[in-house]
Structure 1
Amino acid sequence: MTLQPPLPYSASTEEYRDDEPETLDSLNRSFDEILHTTSEHYGHAVRAVHAKAHGILEGTFTVDPGLPPELAQGLFASTGTHKAYLRISTNPGDILDDAIALPRGIALKVLDVEGERLPDAEGATQDFIMVNGPVFTAPDATKFAGNLKLLAKTTDRAEGAKVAASKVLQVVNAALGAAGMESIKLAGLGGAPQVDPLGETYFSVTPFLYGAYVAKFRLRPVAPALKELTGTKVDTSGRPDALRETIREGMATIDAEWAFEVQLQRDAERQPVEDASVEWKEEDTPFLRVATLRMPRQDSWDAGRVREVDENMRFSVWTGLAAHRPLGNINRARRGAYRHSADFRAATNGCPLHEPAA
C-alpha cells in the first residue's frame, strides 16, 4: 500500500474552544483536591498524577543518522547522543499498593537540546510523557476534567477496597481481551493487566508538532531481554512495591534498549488532533524509528538518583522545543495544569524544581 505523504501543520490543524479556560479551572480545582489530600496524608507533596515511581534510570538518547527530511525535524534534525533520564510510574495522584493494577507511564527527559524553546520552558531539555496504551481515556479536555473531578473524590481513601475492586476488574478485562474487546475504561479504573513495566510499549497518545508536520510518539522495547518481559505477570501478593522490586531486579542485569518512534499525521480525519480517544492506525501511518534510548544495567532505585530526579525535577509535555509544541485541547489544558501541580509541590516541600544541566 502506498502511504499518503505527511500533512504539513497549518493554523487549521487545531480547533480552539471557548470553554478551555473553564476546563483548566476545573482541572486545577481537582488537582488541588488531590494535592492537598495527599500532602496532608504523607506530610510531603507528591505529583497530582503519576505520583508513584517504580524506577528511575539514567542513560543515553541517540538520534539515528541519515533520517529522511520529513523525520529530520526539531530535536531529530541532526544526529547526536544526549544524556537522558527515564522515570517509570503509575498514573494516580496517590501512592497505592501495586496490587491495584493501573496503567503505567514513563517520563523521558533528554538533556542538552538546542533550539527555540516553548514559552516558559526553562533549561535545554526535551520531555516526552507516555503511557502503555495507544489512546487517551477521554476524547477531550472537558471529558477528562469531568473524570478527574470524580477520581479526586477517591484519592487516598479505602485502599483495601481498591485492591479488591482491581482484582475483579482485571478478571473482567482479561475476559474481554480474550474476546477482542479489552476496555480502556476498565483499565483506567484498575483493570489493567499487572505486567512488568520494562516489557511494555509506551505511547504519547496526544499529538505534537514535529517541525513542519504533526506526529505522535512511541517508545518500543527492542533489547531481547526487554522483549522477553513483554506480558510477563508480576506477583503482587503481599508486595506493595512489587513493580519497583521487579524493575530493580531486572535492571541489575539488563542493558535496556528502546526504539523511539514517530507516527506522522497523513489523514486529518483518520488521525484527528482534537480527539485523543481515536487511535491512529499503523496501517494508515506506521511508526518510524528516529532514535534509540539506552539504559545500561544499574540500580533503578538508587537513593541519590531518586532524590535528584523524583524529588527535584518536574516533567511536562510543555518542557521542550517549539518544534515539538503539544497540540490539541488536552495538551493545551496540560500546560497550565502541570505547572499548577509542580508549583504546589515546590512550594509545599520548600524545594524549587529545576531542569538539569547537560
Structure 2
Amino acid sequence: MNLKELSLMLGLSQTTISRAINGYPEVNEETRQRVLKAAKETGYRPNRAAQRLATGKAGSIGLIMPVSPDHASDIHFAEFQGGLAEVAIEHDFHFVIMPARVEDEQEAIRWLVASGSVDGYYLAYMRENDPRIAMAQSLSLPFIVHGRSYGRATDYAFLDVDNEGAFYDATRFLLQLGHKRFALLNGPADLDFAFRRKQGTERALAEQGLALDPAHIRNTFMGDEQGYRGMKEILSGPQRPTAVLCASTVLALGAVRALNEARLKLGVDVSLIAHDDELPLLKPENFSVPLTTTRSSLRQAGKRVAERLIAMIHTGTDMQPQQQELWKVDLVVRSSTGPAPAAD
C-alpha cells in the first residue's frame, strides 16, 4: 500500500493523509483517526525520504544524553525518555540521541541544529543561569525545556514540577509531627531542581525558627549507593536527625539500607519522605515500610514535553494556552513518617 493507493481508498487527498499522519492541527480528529486506522489495517508506512522532501521535515526529535565517567545509568532519564517515546511513536517521530559531557552540551546542540537531522529538541538538567537557553533562542529550531533555570527570566517554553513547593509541604508536614532535626539527601548542587528543593525545605524550617545543619546535607548523583553512603555518614555524626528528605526514591532505597544497619526503625526512630517519580521498578508502596512521598510522574512529563514539542514543530509555535507549565505535587502519606521520638 502506497500513499496514492491509500488516497484512492479513503477518498482523501494525499496531502490530507500526510497531514493526518503527521499530526497537523488543521486535520480534524475524526479524519485523523480514520486515516490512522486505515494505515494500520493496510500496513501503510510513509516513505521517510519522500516525506522529508515533501515537507522539509526530518521527522525526528533531538536530545542530548548527559554522560560522565562518575555516573552510572540514570533511571530517571530512562523513565522520562519512555514517556517521550510513547508520544513520538504515535506521531511517527524518531529520536536523534547525541551523548555529550556537560562542557560539550552547547556544541552538541549546535551540531544537531546545523545537521538538519532534527525538527526540534528539548533541554533538561537545567542549571542556574543556564547559558543553553540563550543559545537555543538564537538558533532556528523549536525547543522546550524540561525544568527551569534559576536566576534568568522565564521567557521560554518549559514544563517543570513545583520542586520548591513539594519540599516546603513535605517539611511542614514533618514539622507538624514535631520533628526539629532534619537531613536532606539531594541531587547535584548545580542542578536547578536540587536548588529549589533545598530552598523549599529551608523556607519551611525558617518559618519555625529552624535551619538545616550543613553537616546533614548531601548533594550527589541520585543512586542507591549514594543514598546509602550519605545516610551512613550523617548517622555517624553527634546530632542524629529524626527527619530525612530524599530527592528520589532511588536515594531513599540506599538511605533505608543505612537506617536498617543502624537498627533504626523507619517511621518511629526516623521519619523519611522521598520524591516519588512513580518509577515502575521502584514503587514506594513496596518498600518494607511503605514510603511517604511527594508524587510526580516523569513518564507523564516526558509525554507532555513530546506533545508540546511536536505541536511546535508542526505549527512553528507553541500552541498551548500557557507556555510555562508548573505541575503541582501531591503529598502521599504512608508508614515511613510518624511523630518525632519522645526524647526529641
Pick the TM interval, shorter chain. Answer: under 0.3
Higher RCO by CA contacts (8 Å cutoff, separation 6 or greater): 1
TM-score normalised to the size of structure 2?
0.25
Higher helix share: 2
Whose radius of gyration is greater, 1 or 2? 2
TM-score normalised to the size of structure 1?
0.24
